[in-house]
Structure 1
């Protein structure tokens, strides 16, 4: 924990207010009861998705229910000109809800893909029962026939991946302050899931493409189809099949299927390292020794003289050197091989708050050697 303290202020910021039960619904047991629901198909009952949501949500689901016709109209017959994203889950279209004139993002799940009824239900319930400025808002959903469609608030700046890892020639690279702002906001979203939700929620699919950005580049986590309710009582982990995206999964989860909140902390460390370096976690276009971002960075963490080699060249040196050191210290701690030595997300948020406060753009690049300690990957953060 010693090297991680270099990123924390002397007076630890109290986080008691973040321990409160979710305000948006009166009975916190709603989410707890969700933990015991089996999503295995029961063909004998043939229960409709809407009925499942009504019963599990116990009347607390505020999302609108749209017909397929509503969303067909909103997206102009799912016109390709309105397509704003595409992945293994299906396609996302920009649309306008006629009744309210609200601009939305309409995600039409691939009926042949892995994301079936279970993931659809998880997404609707999670985003209906959990509310935070750094989580994307669910406007509504459609479950007509075999259609599974989710409707979100529209995020005008797309995903972090669009601005960091797939930068179009006409786009300016993110500056250092914006990168730290995005990191802090995303960390707050994870902190809320881990430490305010009751029971806690493990996001399980934290990556750059799932961090959406509004007009002011405030980040919001999206895609909750793989989220799991965390361990409760004396349980230390949730055992589940390994899901997520290669490169972002924590090593212990990938090997054993044992999922904890510290698995999300590792994934955050990967994305934070992407923010600092401008490199993809897996990039086969690079030399073999640089294709895996974490493997490339791990030895560099141990030599502060090489820290500047890790900064994104697109920053052109426009970053505070001390801020770079501190950011890499946070990333190194999140990427610890042993889950128990990684910090809590509340510690990460505190460190990033400290980093933002002291991230003076006028700071000179020359920094006293005694001002900051280099990351120490073998230290214990608990």
Structure 2
């Protein structure tokens, strides 16, 4: 073999090796970026839409991912038009932030607008940017804000079917409604996933005002936790009470918070326990605080009948109800360390729900009966 041929073969081998190394480097870089994009959502759940690769630093350390869509800045004229100049006809409630109005934007989107008197501030927009980036199927989305004429406004997606509390013990039209145990479990599971998502951040985002009235249901009765992060926002921009004067309804408040004024993720777990208790009993714990005492002392399965909503009839298994009440008992422990994390509550509710579905689903000609979301609440007989 001639020297010229040997040189040519060596050169060709070098080119092939160079191309191969280049391709390997490209693949590793691309694969690493793909993994990074997935991890930024803090969840494998496709309903989580945290998106983006920019992080916003919080006071005191820690950060939450900034959503690629960002918080929309609305102008006051647009919101005036959407609410007919904030007509009393569109006033749908009052919250910790202020009055709440229903509005129809020009693009056809229906929104809920929370408004209060306050001077504009950069801190307000920074906090809204953080909170609007936190998206999950079981959280009410904060879409944007408005700051004009000494007004601060928060614009949320509108949830049409109101709060779970209104369906359990609210207005006279809704108080007679019936909801089977497995459907209540489905609502509880969805709300738990919303809270667990908040607790999954570093540091955890503690709701600090979780209650049955802050769990809304959409047209398919999918639950969405409202006001996530609102307490944090109000404290950082001013206009909120100090931590020694908690915002949550007293009956939902962790006993340890009442003593120390300091919230933690397990404080939300206690509030969630009260929510579960109201969900299964159909009663307002604020007007019947003996419910909490019964749940905290739950030992005897024979006490089930004194807690369970009679409107459910026999739509549940005894074993499933026992397991549910044991979970409520655990969440309502007066010591935070002895309460389960929300991640466990999610998995336990899912297990109990699946078990109830398998044991109580009505079969007809070999096919399970499907209940539409709009049919979940039916008049009690």
Category of TM-score, reference length = shorter chain: 0.7 to 0.9
Tell me the residue number matched to 2:370. Answer: none
Counterpart of 1:241?
Answer: 244
Correspondence 1:36 to 2:57:
no
Q: 1:66 aligns with which of 65, 70, 74?
A: 74
**Corresponding residue number in structure 2 for 1:319:** 316
Please state how far the C-alpha of 1:151 moved relative to its aligned partner.
1.2
Pick from 263, 279, 288 the counterpart of residue 259 of structure 1: 263
Which residue in 2 is equivalent to 1:310?
307
Aligned residues: 306
Query: Which of the numbers 356, 359, 367 marks the counterpart of 2:356?
Result: 359
CA distance in 2 between partners of 1:335 and 1:329 (Å)? 10
Partner residue, 1:13: none
| Deviation of the 1:202 alpha carbon | 0.7
Gaps of at least 5 residues in structure 2 are 1-38, 234-241, 362-381
**Aligned pair partner of 2:231 in 221, 226, 234:** 226
Q: CA deviation at 1:108?
A: 1.8
TM-score, reference length from structure 1: 0.72
The answer to whether the 8 Å contact 1:143/1:149 transfers is yes
The correspondence for 1:346, drawn from 343, 347, 350, is 343
Determine whether 1:213 maps to 2:217: yes
Q: Does 1:152 align with 2:156?
A: yes
Partner of 2:109: 102
CA distance in 2, matches of 1:137, 1:334: 26
Describe the SS at the equivalent of 2:110.
strand
Question: Cα distance, 1:173 vs. partner?
Answer: 2.9
* Farther-moved stretch of structure 1 (242-251 vs 185-194): 242-251
- Structure 2 Cα separation of the partners of residues 118 and 280 of structure 1: 39
Q: How much has 1:191 moved relative to structure 2?
A: 0.8
Matches within 5 A, 1:1-382: 19=42, 23-28=50-55, 30=56, 33-36=57-60, 62-98=70-106, 100-109=107-116, 111=117, 124-169=128-173, 172-195=177-200, 197-223=201-227, 224-227=229-232, 240-243=243-246, 244-283=248-287, 290-299=288-297, 301-360=298-357, 362-363=359-360
- Higher RCO structure (Cα 8 Å, ≥6 apart): 1
- SS of 1:267's partner is helix
Taking the aligned partners of 1:151 and 1:314, their CA distance within structure 2 comes to 36
1:306-344, Cα deviation, whole Å (9 max, x unpaired):
112210122233222222111111111101111111101
Corresponding residue for 1:379? Answer: none
Which stretch shows the higher mean deviation, 128-137 or 311-320? 311-320
Q: Quick check: which one's helix share is greater?
A: 2
Larger Rg: 2
> Could you tell me how far 1:292 is from its partner in structure 2?
4.2
Q: 2:122, 2:206 → 1: CA distance?
A: 16
For the 8 Å contact 2:269–2:341, the answer to whether it is kept is: yes
Q: Secondary structure at the match of 2:231?
A: coil
Aligned CA-pair RMSD: 3.1
Task: Quote the offset at 1:278 in angstroms.
Answer: 1.1
CA, structure 1 residues 191+88, in 2 after alignment: closer, same or farther (shift >3 Å)?
closer
Structure 1 residue ranges without an equivalent (≥5): 1-15, 38-55, 229-238, 284-289, 365-382
Q: Is the 8 A contact 1:282 1:292 kept in 2?
A: no
Per the normalisation by structure 2, the TM-score is 0.72
Once residues 231 and 309 of structure 2 are traced to their aligned partners in structure 1, the CA distance between those partners, rounded to angstroms, is: 30
